[in-house]
């Protein structure tokens, strides 16, 4: 199967020019790199975990749409939180985007995220 690079201006470019793509499509699957709460074109992350989760999911939505998919087609996400104490707030924001058939999900507390982010989410979706 061919590997197709997915790129949209409606989501942030790879963080600080790092060597990865926003997403890769292979067959009917789209693998989205971890997204932070950065707005496209900006370099600083602002807001609490709720605001950051909202922006992360807007970024995921834009990338998935560019790949011919959608948030409704998510099959697996991995959520990385700087503080597991933010789980309830992240979960509330997350639930607004994933509908009544949410994907499988793993959630981890990590010691640090880039640029002081409070949350990062990576995803796999079908087309």
Show me where the domains of the chain are located.
3-126
Q: Is there a contact between 38 and 90 (Cβ–Cβ < 8 Å)?
A: no
Residue 79 pLDDT = 98
Residue 18 pLDDT = 87
pLDDT tens digits along 14-70: 877 789 999 999 999 999 999 999 999 898 999 999 999 999 999 999 999 999 999
Q: What is the pTM of this model?
A: 0.96
Q: Which CATH superfamily is domain 3-126 in?
A: RutC-like (3.30.1330.40)
Q: Enumerate residues 6+ apart whose C-beta is below 8 A from 24.
A: 3, 4, 5, 6, 30, 31
- Mean pLDDT (the chain) is 96
């Amino acid at each position: 199967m061919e590997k197709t690079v997915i790129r949209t201006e409606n989501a942030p470019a790879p963080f600080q020019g790092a060597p990865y793509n926003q997403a890769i499509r292979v067959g009917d699957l789209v693998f989205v790199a971890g997204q932070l709460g950065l707005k496209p074109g900006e370099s600083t992350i602002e807001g609490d975990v709720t605001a950051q989760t909202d922006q992360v999911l807007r970024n995921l939505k834009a990338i998935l749409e560019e790949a011919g998919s959608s948030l409704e087609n998510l099959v697996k996400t991995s959520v990385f939180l700087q503080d597991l104490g933010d789980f309830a707030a992240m979960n509330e924001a997350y639930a607004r985007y994933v509908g009544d058939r949410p994907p499988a999900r793993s959630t981890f507390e990590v010691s640090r995220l880039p640029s002081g982010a409070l949350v990062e989410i990576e995803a796999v979706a079908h087309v």
